[in-house]
Structure 1
Amino acid sequence: MRVQGGRGRGPGRGPRARAARGLWVGAELAVTAGLLVLLLVAHQLWWTNREARAEARDTVHSLEDQWGAPGSDRAGDPSGRSGPAGSSDPSDPSDPSQASPAAGDEDVAVEGGPRAGAPGGGAASGGKSTPRGDQAYAVIRIPRIGVTAPIAEGISKAGVLDKGYVGHYVGTAQPGQTGNFALAGHRNTHGEPFRYINRLRVGDSVVVETRDTVYTYVVDSLLPQTSSRDGGTIAPVPRSVVKPSYGYSAPGRYITLTTCTPEFTSTYRLVVWGKLRASRPR
């Protein structure tokens, strides 16, 4: 006897079953991809901060041990204020002499900065020695935002910034010198020491310690956003070439803090400037 309707189909061989299996496999792949993304985000936002902060903390303690005295009491006024603020002088147009020839090579850095050996560079701690590349040689303390971090020579990611350090732009002045002591730091991940520098206000103190001297700078001006190629911000006399109303027109002893903005991007740069108020021996 002939069976009508052709061959019977085994279980799971119909189009609906195949579609269901395809949806299941797709859902599993989507869940796996989502977990991988979450793990990557957790690594970037939590693990890199944990590792970098631990390394930076150990480096600060090591420097203090080498210098022979703890630095926990050298952060200045706990309120973060440090007396009357200076004022910028934006009256002079952008000075061509402030244009700098070279470019920093890191996302967090300002491009167009001075080259090694350019005017305004010099030795750490009063000209006694020049730090080696990636060498941590000073400590920065910013009481307003609770920052304590080592300062290292250079702005390489692997050797400096990703360790949670603050990097010194090679070729700019060293602490206390006439010129511009220019620094870069991560705003997000890898310790993010400069995450909250946008919260600094005129008059806040930024303390830099070297082996021999403690320098106290006073925040004087903040440039909320400028191009990553605005090398004028870290020139010896700092003035933005993109927004020339921000900056200075006369030589002085400046400090510059630079980081990326907006957060979690590297599109623009946020810049904080300060002036040296005082220095004293350690």
Structure 2
Amino acid sequence: MIEYFKSDARLLSPLYEFEPGCWVNLVRPTSEEITHVLATTGVEEDFLRAALDPEESSRVELEEDQTLLIVDIPTLEESNVEQDESKIFGTLPMGIIVLPNTVITVCLQDTTVLRGIAQNKVRDIHTAMRTRFVLQILLRVAGLFLRNLRMIERDFTKIERRLYDSLKNEELIQLLGLSKSLVYFSASLKGNEVTMEKMLRGRILKLYEDDRDLLEDALIEIRQAIEMAGIYSSILAGTMDAYASVVSNNLNIIMKVLTVITIIMTIPNIIFGFYGMNITGNDLPFAYWWWVPVVISIGGCIGAWIYMKRKDLL
């Protein structure tokens, strides 16, 4: 999909074809669309295809008067657990190509970062001011990371509340999914931080004073997101360790109870085993009183239960 937008009176208006000073948005473009953009804008083909590789890492590349920025953005993935209320997040590369007369964005998915800009949810967008427009995109990427981290924290709190009551595999799988999301976020955020720090030096894009302030704001949010991801990862790791300890402790309690029950049930077996031996009745006490072994068995069981209760074995 190809979309063209151009700012007019601080609002973005869609265009039907390319114009100098516009913003070109590519979402999972086809080969024909890539060929069309190459012919109309003169962008480097390697730059255009770089962000279409889902394994591409965050980086900056310069080629004559063209600049390629690749940053990772958070995406929502589908959960493999049925009726799973928590969310699993991943990251996806997004390419931002700055040309002398336009800005091109390339991504494999239609993200809320760019869709919000296209729907005029961001104020003071000027597509002709290429550097400022790129920095506004980066600021929205940082904000999206922070929002998704807060969503992870809320999902973690919900799971934690029912974790120690249910002790089911579903909760453990959900925690593993959140842990996986935090690992992806941490790696992507650190890559984005390095890319923005390179931009802050002013060698990649010419920065004016307002642009520098905007980039510093984006860097602050990225670093805050890195710190939040680290804190949440530590809390999640501690919770999973506690979960394992609770499961192990519950198993020990169950085994202890079963052992006590087995010991108590052994007493009647021993007593009735004596009276069931193939010997003459005169050799056993009370051999002809059937209720005697029953009483002895019951008394032995009660005595064993009292003893174990006093020893705190139950």
TM superposition score category, shorter chain reference: under 0.3
Name the TM-score, length of structure 1 as normaliser.
Answer: 0.22
Higher relative contact order (CA 8 A, sep 6+): 1
Larger proportion of helix: 2
Q: Larger Rg: 1 or 2?
A: 2
Larger proportion of strand: 1
